[in-house]
């Protein structure tokens, strides 16, 4: 089956060589508190310490470096829930290219302002990732910009997979890897890397209960649309694309399970990260911790939870830490 995947282990290794020196190799730290709770060693992959505050820099950098000089000169465009846009703006600027980032009105202002600060042309369109993508398609069609999607692209997936290589390189005996799941770029890349080296390691995708497009698509056996709802895990929002070419098949074949988390469980994960791990993370990055706290993960050996990003609105973070419930359990 591995030969049919759009991204191979060698693609990921090539991406690692390509982005070396431009992207940080992030640390992995064992959590005493979570290890006691889980009954097995639990390690946190501190990817939120990445240069732009999230794992997205890996895929964006690999994709930009994979473009020809002529393609970069035309300008780069993408839809984003925030972190991909920030990473792409950074990667494009580093190579002398201009990035245009299209986002919905659901993207928090702190993420929008940071993307503007990095020199990107920001366009706010509609109330969903799908509507923002329509503007991207128009700019590609009418202006000739080159699209670098946030997840459904081989170079992006390969770049995200370098995170998996770092995990398996640091902890070869890892039993289970917990990966935040949205469009599937991170999950697909990490799973391909991990299972390419050790097929017995479980890779579990984690996402919020409402608006989980990849989970709904996997259940349906094909990409489907879902309503995008406000969530603490706003970075996990958005569809996977009805014409998904890469991540749906890889997640279907490579993920061992997908676990859904409530808003209360995600909030508990953020609070634990802050109070016991001394880490500030956004809701999407707290899902691995949340699943362990909720007893939704059972493992017989070492676990790695990826803390994928820290680009949280600090006022929102303060309110969560103080125990406020920002979104109802139905996501509204």
56 is catalytic: yes
DSSP 285: G
| Distance, CA of 191 to chain centre | 13
Handedness of CA 216, 220, 223, 225 (dihedral sign): negative
Check if 54 is active-site.
no
Instruction: Give the strand pairing for 121-124 and 257-261.
Output: unpaired
Choosing from 45, 54, 56, 195, the catalytic residue is 56
Pairing, β 303-306 against β 42-45? parallel
Contact 264, 329 (CB under 8 A): yes
Bridge partners of 203, per DSSP, are 177
| Structural contact between residues 178 and 288, judged by C-beta atoms closer than 8 angstroms | yes
Alpha-carbon dihedral sign for residues 124, 125, 131, 134 = negative
In order, the DSSP letters of 287-321 are HHHHHHHTT----SS-EEEE--B----HHHHHHHH
Catalytic residues: 56, 308
């Amino acid at each position: 089956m591995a030969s049919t995947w759009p991204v191979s282990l060698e693609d990921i290794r090539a991406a690692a060589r390509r982005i070396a020196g431009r992207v940080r190799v992030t640390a992995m730290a064992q959590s005493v508190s979570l290890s006691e709770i889980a009954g097995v060693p639990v390690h946190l992959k501190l990817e939120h310490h990445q240069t732009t505050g999230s794992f997205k820099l890996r895929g964006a950098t690999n994709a930009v470096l994979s473009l020809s000089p002529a393609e970069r000169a035309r300008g780069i465009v993408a839809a984003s829930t925030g972190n991909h846009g920030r990473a792409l703006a950074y990667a494009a600027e580093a190579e002398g290219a201009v990035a245009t980032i299209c986002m919905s009105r659901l993207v928090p202002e702190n993420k929008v302002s940071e993307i503007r600060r990095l020199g990107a042309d920001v366009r706010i369109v509609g109330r969903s990732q799908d509507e923002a993508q329509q503007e991207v398609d128009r700019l590609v069609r009418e202006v000739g910009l080159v699209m670098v999607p946030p997840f459904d692209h081989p170079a992006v997936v390969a770049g995200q997979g370098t995170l998996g290589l770092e995990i398996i390189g640091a902890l070869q005996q890892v039993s289970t890897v917990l990966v935040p799941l949205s469009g599937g770029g991170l999950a697909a890349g990490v799973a391909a890397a991990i299972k390419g080296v050790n097929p017995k390691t479980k890779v579990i995708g984690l996402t919020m209960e409402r608006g989980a497009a990849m989970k709904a698509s996997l259940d349906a056996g094909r990409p489907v649309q879902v309503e995008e709802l406000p969530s603490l895990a706003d970075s996990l929002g958005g569809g996977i694309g009805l014409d998904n070419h890469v991540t749906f098949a890889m997640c279907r074949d490579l993920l061992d399970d997908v676990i859904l988390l409530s808003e209360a469980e995600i909030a508990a994960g953020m609070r634990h990260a802050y109070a016991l791990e001394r880490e500030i993370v956004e809701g999407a990055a707290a899902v691995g911790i949340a699943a362990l706290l909720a007893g939704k993960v059972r493992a017989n050996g070492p676990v790695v939870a990826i803390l994928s990003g820290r680009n949280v609105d600090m006022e929102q973070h303060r309110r969560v830490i103080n125990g406020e419930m920002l979104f109802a359990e139905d996501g509204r």
